[in-house]
Amino acid sequence: RNGLKGKITAEKLNNMLRDKGYVEKRTRPSKKGAKNFHALTEKGLKWGENQVSPHNQKETQIQYYEDKFPQLIKELGLLQKGE
């Protein structure tokens, strides 16, 4: 067991991080219209860094710091009691 309160999707986690001001949704043009991606805000940079996406150099990919991720999850209230 990983200590989380149930299962959480990436979409739900990103929504929670957006609500806290740690992540923002960005948009870039593409041949098929607009393409959305996420990036850490200035406030969110204490939890990780924005790296160039290996799929598209015009997008970022969030890389969370492994040693800080448990504290981030705790701050979001996602840990079970006693964790």
Task: Please give the backbone phi and psi of residue 67, each rounded to the nearest 5 degrees, phi first.
Answer: -75, -15
**pLDDT number for residue 80:** 66
pTM, two decimal places? 0.83
Task: Please give the backbone phi and psi of residue 10, each rounded to the nearest 5 degrees, phi first.
Answer: -60, -40
**pLDDT number for residue 16:** 95
Q: Which residues of the chain have pLDDT under 70?
A: 1-5, 80-83
**pLDDT number for residue 1:** 43
Q: Specify the amino acid at residue 65.
A: Y
